[in-house]
Structures are given as structure tokens and as C-alpha cells.
Chain A
Amino acid sequence: MEEKIYDYWFYSLEGLRYEQRETLLARLQSTKEIYESPMERIIEAIAPNPWVTERIYNSRNTFKLKQEYENMQKMGVRFICCKDIEYPEKLRNMKEMPGGLFVKGELPLGKEKTVAVIGARECSCYGKFVAQEIGKALAEQGVELISGMARGVDGYAQMAAIEAGGKSFGVLGCGVDICYPRENYNLYRKLPENGGILSEYRIGVPAIGRNFPRRNRIISGLADVIIVVEAKKRSGTSITVSYALEQGKDVMAVPGRITDCLSEGCNYLISQGAYPVNSLEEMMEDLGFPRKKNIKKRKNVKNPLESDANLVYAVLDFVPKTITAIGKELGENDMEKINRLLFDLEIEDKIEQVTTGYYVRKQ
């Protein structure tokens, strides 16, 4: 059997902790040795732990392993273990560093700056908009975007980065052959060509809840800076942030209104010392990209709309509002007029209907 397959077997063994792995390697020299040595020696090396030893014993099936490995290669998935040169430098020496990574596409090379953009799955329209803007701005500067390919903020930021021609990497909590969540299938298909999809779990491992918090350490590990777009106070995002702080990474957070529960987490982070993202330009400056002339100033572009439409537009924000609510805020009783103005704005792509009768601002 090839050396590579022994590595594949050893480094993707489920349930083997980092320390156990190191002890085994120190005692028995190579993965091939571990594979071939009798169980007594293994048990001798690591404290008798029936669950792990049973795993090792049962998985030593040369025929099956070879087949698995071949299958994986056929799918275009590579296995990069921590001995390989390709293994990301940033993950080395990380606490509980993954023994190996399954990769579809490529891995971040470490030459470019990497930023993780993370946030709530059930994000608001505001979160969606900011995630997209940040993804775009980062991509324009060649920053590699790391995220979890999750629904909501993660997916929106990654998609925006890819669409702006940048690179993005999705770290999954399941096998890289599984698209989870299903609604991000489009992103899943595009990622390998514009970056990569990676996971520490073998091919075919289903999306199980408990795997997801652990993969967050890889997201924060791969990134130089973590930007939190929208998060509730207690959420998966806070797990990533605590990993990031443990790993000594910088954390930035997008401030929000104190009344929005989806901004509670971000505002709390800021109060704890995270950099606030006050504007895209400032954010890019903080990331080490000096303000350039060619970064478009979105805010000051004058709306070429008639003044009434401007009024309606000014009332709208990222919290969905109904036509009635807009009318009330403007003190306008003529529903037909507001209808007409909303329609014009929608056709101009300035606003969007999120669900029946509810409108939000788009830019």
C-alpha cells in the first residue's frame, strides 16, 4: 500500500485526539508502522481506550482503504495531511490542529491576506446587504475570503466575493462531497473553481450538528482577521470568535441598532474590544489596504430619482416595511401614489420586495 494511503488512514481516524496521535507517532515512527504493528503495541503506546483502539483495529482493512482512496480521487478530492508541504502554515501549531484536510479545489496558499466573514444564518436584509458589500470589497483587493458556506451571512459574503472575481474558501462540517445546506448548491458548485471547499471529515460524513462548532476553529485558524456581520448574543458565531481570540486573531464586528436582536452579538463584541466596521473604506484601511481613489464611494452617489421617490426611498431601510407603514411615516394618505413610487423604485432596482407587501432598500 502506498505511503499516502497509510497517512490517509491514520490522519482521518475518527476519535483520535491530537495528543494520542502525537504519542503514537513518537513511539512507532511512521503511519505505516502503526498500521502494521500488533494491537498490543498500540495499546501500550496510548492509554487503553477501548473506543479508539477498536476504531484502529476495525479500520485496518487494506482492500477497503484502497478502494476508498481511489474513489475519493475519482471525485476530484485530495487528501492533504499535516506532513505535506501544501498543508496551510496557518493551521500548523494550532491547538487541536486537524491531522489532514479533504480538499475540493485548492487551499489558501498563504500569500494573500485571508479574512473570515461570518454571521447569522437567519440574517436580516441589513446583514445580507453588508455581507455582500464586504465580500465584494475584499475580493476587489484580492483578499481571500474564508467562511462556512452556511445559509445567511456566510453564503452571501462568499457568493459576492466570487461574483466580484475573488477567491473564497468554504470550510464544511461534513464531507466535502455533501452540499450542506442544500440551498447553497450554486455556491458549492462555484467554490472549487474560485477557491476551494475543505473539511477535516472524510468523504460521506453527513452533516451532524456536533461537527459544526469544531470546524469553526479551522475557519478562524485559516483567517488573519475575522469579521462578524450579524450575530445574536449566543450563537455559532460566538464559538468562532472565541476560537479566534484563543488563536490570537483580530476580530472586527459590524455595529447594528441596539433594538435588533441580530446585532446584539456584534455590539457586544465591539464593547469587548472588537474593531467596529464603521465603513467599508475604514475597514479596508484597517486590513492594511490604503484608501484608494478607485474605491467607489457609494454613499454620495446622487439618486437620479424624482424628489417624491427620494422621500419614499429615505423612509425605507433594511428592516422590511409595508406600504401602509411607509405611507404613515410620510404622512401621505394617497396609497396609489406610494404604490406608484415604490414600483418605480423597484424597477430602478433601488428597493426590493422581500415578501408579499414588504419592502427594503437595496443599496
Chain B
Amino acid sequence: MFSTILSGAMNGMECRDVHVEADVSMGMPTFSMVGFLGSEVKEAAERVKNAIRNTGVQIPAKRITVNLSPADMRKSGTAFDLPIAAAVLASLGEIEANNLQGVFMAGELSLNGEVNGICGVLAMTLHAREQGMEYCVFPRENAKEGAVVEGIKVIGVGHITEMLAFLKQKERMKPERIDMADVFSQSKRYEYDYSDIRGQKRGKRAMEIAAAGRHNILLIGPPGTGKSMLAKRLPDILPPLTMEESFSITKIHSIAGVLPKDTPLLATRPFLQPHHTSSPYALAGGGKIPKPGMISLAHRGVLFLDELPEFKRETLEILRQPLEDKVIHISRVGGNYEFPAELMVVAAMNPCKCGFYPDRNRCRCTVAEINQYQGKLSKPLLDRIDLYVEVEGLGYEEISGEGPKTENESERMRNRVIAAGEIQKERYRGRPYQFNSELDAEGVYEFCTLDRKEKQLMEKIFHKMKLSARGYHRMLKVARTIADLDEEKQIREKHLKEAISYRRNYMLE
């Protein structure tokens, strides 16, 4: 008897239909599987046979054939175990074949019939809803993840018998329920606060500007001055995630298989800190069918590159295209994949190898060594960084905690960032820009206009600082953000003067 059930395979960011078909017929007693299968899918035969036997169902000495269609797409992963079992059980007459209709299923089986977790549940659920399915059956540990999608019933099963029971009598099992608002507010936690950092006023201010205009930023300072602390708190001063953003982030993390077990929905912005030995594939996303890399995992969040000059050149070059296009394209034999990559980059570096330049009493690096160290960075990457700020060691007063302590600094910063974001949204309505950092040359001419006095000042700056066209635009964009933080329509002198203090030095030029 023939039966079929719908399952799905993740292919980059999208989920594709896979129909799991089973047929039981007379012939040699074999269990054969076809349909362009990866070796882990072929192994499903043993898992499914044992799991079914362990539920007490006798597999008759008949010829069982399983096909995963479309047969021209290579399948991988262990998520097909459960649908294969369901299709086989239906073919054996254990379940009414009609009951498989309208059900989307994915899950991995153990030999004793237990159902184990899989990756990409959120994306699959969204896909199943699109396909007009009524039910989704997932492993219990992932079911909550799917339950955030409205308009489809998600059933969590912990054992193959539960799946069997559900398919026999659908009404008996209660779909997973999740209080979205509750989950969202619960997982929305701010772990760190900028008031944890004493002093570093300038560093904090620079982070605020960066957050407001979504500018990429480079922190330069000796070791142990709090560069990482400044970076770590950045996601918290960005505006809170909307439900939509939260969905897209969760989807990526779920596909990559890095979603924490107890968090069905990510409600805080991701903060990723790849080690400087990371390969280009770790950042971009690797594998035959690529999984999202660090760049995509940091989507709508922050990618922190500590010790920037220590990164391999090829690794950093990977960043150039996604920073420009907000998506990352990956080409493989099997096709081209696209992952979202709308992220902010925070980079940190020492000013020289020993880290103490320009304190000549401590730094023993030669000028050539310093030039070599700073010159190592790729210029095209630096061109995508708008803010450069020095981070200085703290005085005793700050270290000992005797200085003035502020409370809830992050919250105040966040409020200003949100306000500046609203201004930008209003201004760029109907335009291809969202934030000041995205302005191209044309956008700069249109939106960063200057009055006569400011124009004169900018001309002076241009000649004095020997700015390039890029540097000029960078400065105006940052000034625009500072003006937005001030809630001013026009860029004023003081905004330009502040913007200029975050320019990059001649060694990086």
C-alpha cells in the first residue's frame, strides 16, 4: 500500500518540500531507500526499523520501499526519520493513510523510539503554513520554537508512540501553546549596562553615535582598557527588536542549530565575537549546503572583531560585500545561497604591537613597526568604518570605584538612539536608505546639506586635514547622526567639530 507525508529540507535560508513516500508490497523482505540520499539519511532505515519494532508493531516480511521526492535534490540531515516512520506505518496499515494529509513532519529517531531535536524548526513551520498545512509534528524539545508561528497547530512529540497516537486521533493531542508576549518580554533581558563602565565618557559617546546611525566603529587603545566591555554593551542600546526582526533572527539561529534549548524566540540582539583565528568560512557560512556563518548570525545585531589586525586578511575581506549589500552570497556546486547580513561591526585593536603607542616611555616599537601594524588592515574594509575612537587607560579614581557612578546609563542611551532612529526613518521614507551610515554620495549631497558658515568650516577642514572624497562623506554622515541625536534639522558647526574628532589617523589612511 502506498502512503505519503510532507517533510522539508533546509536549503540555505529556505525550506523546500520533500515528500516522503513509502510503499509496502510483496517480494523479498527488504527495506530500501531511494531519492538521492546523503549517508546520514540512508542510515535512517536502521533507526526507523528498530524504532518501529520497539513500539510493538511487527514489520512483516514484505518489501518496503521509501522514496524521498524530488529525487534530483540531495537530501541530508536526520530530520527525515520521523516522517519515514510515519509513512511506513501508514503503508503497513497501522494508520489511516488519509490521516497523513495536512501534516508536516520532521524529527530524528532513537533506536528506542524517542524523538530527538533538529535544526531549522521555525523556518519549517513558516514554510508548512505557506503550504496550507494544518498540523506540524516536531520533536518536543523544538516544538515551542515552531509554536511561535500563528495559524498552524504545532504538536510536540517525545516518542514515536505519541506520534502514532496523534495520527490515529488528531483531536486528542493538544497543540503546543506559547504566550508570545510573555516569551518575548521574558527573554528580553539586558544583562549589561554602560553604567558598569566607569569613566570612558568619550568611548560611550562614540558607541551612542555608532548605534544611532548604525555606523561601524573601530576602538583603538592599549590592552585592558575596556574595549570589549564597551562593545559588549552595544546591542543593548540598539532599539528593542520588533517581532518581525525577532523572527528573522531566530530563524537564522535555528537553521544554524545554535538556538538555546530553552529559548523559543530570541528577543535580544545577537552579539557575536569570532576569534581572530576564524576562517573565512566561519564568518561567511560553510558546508556543502551552507549554514549561516558568524556574519549572518549577527544579523540585526553586532559583530565584534577583537584584535582586528590579527585576523587573516582573507577572513576580513569576506566582510566587504555583506557590509555593502546587507546580504551575503555564497556559491556552491549545488547552487547559490543568500543569507541576510544586516549587522553592525565593532572592531578593536591596539595602537601597536606592544599596545602603548604613543606613550613613548612604555612603547618601544619603531615607527616602521607601528606603520606595519596599523597598515596591515585592509583599506576597503576600513572605508566601511565611520567612527574611530581612542580608548584610554583609567585613572585610579575610576578603577577604585570612587568616581561618580551613573545608573541606567544604557537605558538613557537607548532612548536617545531610538529617537534618532525615528528621525532617520521619517527623513528616509520612500528612499533606499534606513540609516545615515547607508547614505551614498548622492544621499550625502541631498540629506547632509550645510549652511554657509558650516560650508566654510568644512572647506577649511577639507584643506587642513587633506580629506579624501570618502573621508569627506564619512565625516558628513557622522555629523548628520550627531545632529539627529541633538534632534536638529540642520548640521551645525558643533556637530561637524565633534564628528571630526572621530576621524581616522593618517596611519590608517
Contact = CB atoms under 8 A, between A and B. Distances in A.
A261 B360 CA distance: 8
Interface string A302-332: 0000000000000000011011110110000
B498 A339 contact: yes
Given A322-B390, A355-B505, A356-B389, A124 B360 contact: yes
B360 A355 contact: no
A319 B388 CA distance: 21
B464 interface: yes
Contacts of B186: none
Contact of B367 (A122, A356, A358): A122
A175 to B, nearest CB: 21
A322 B460 CA distance: 23
B498 A324 contact: no
B357 A323 contact: no
Contacts of B388: 356-357
Contacts of A343: 497, 500-501
Interface string B492-504: 0010011011001
Contacts of B505: 353-356
B494 A324 contact: no
Contacts of A122: 360, 364-367
A319 B363 CA distance: 13
A356 B390 contact: yes
Contacts of B507: 355
Contact of B389 (A124, A327, A357): A357
Contact of B501 (A151, A320, A342): A342
A295 interface: no
Contacts of A320: 358-359
Interface residues of A, number: 35
Nearest to A260: B361
A358 B360 contact: no
B275 interface: no
B375 to A, nearest CB: 12
A124 B390 CA distance: 19
Interface in B178-203: 199-202
A259 interface: yes
Nearest to A323: B202
B494 A336 contact: yes
A151 to B, nearest CB: 6
Interface string B289-305: 00000000000000000
B411 interface: no
A47 interface: no
B220 interface: yes
B13 interface: no
B395 interface: yes
A124 B367 CA distance: 11
A262 interface: yes
A346 interface: yes
B470 interface: no
B358 A355 contact: yes
B220 A335 contact: no
Interface residues of B, number: 34
Interface in B24-62: none
A121 interface: yes
A323 B501 contact: yes
Contacts of B220: 355-357
A180 to B, nearest CB: 12
Interface in A335-363: 335-336, 339-340, 342-344, 346-347, 349, 353-358
A358 B500 CA distance: 13
B241 interface: no
B201 A355 contact: no
B202 A356 contact: no
B497 A324 contact: no
Interface in B195-227: 199-202, 205, 220
B351 interface: yes
Contacts of A319: 359-360
A328 B351 contact: no
A324 B367 contact: no
Interface in B428-487: 460-461, 464
Q: For B201, B358, B507, which residue has the most chain A Cβ atoms within 10 angstroms? A: B358
B114 interface: no
A347 B464 contact: yes
Nearest to B358: A320
A309 B289 CA distance: 61
B464 A346 contact: yes
A340 B390 contact: no
A69 to B, nearest CB: 35
B357 A340 contact: no
Contacts of A322: 202, 390, 392
B5 to A, nearest CB: 61
19 contacts: A122-B360, A261-B360, A261-B361, A262-B361, A319-B360, A322-B202, A322-B390, A328-B395, A335-B202, A335-B205, A339-B498, A340-B498, A347-B461, A347-B464, A355-B220, A355-B358, A356-B388, A357-B202, A357-B392
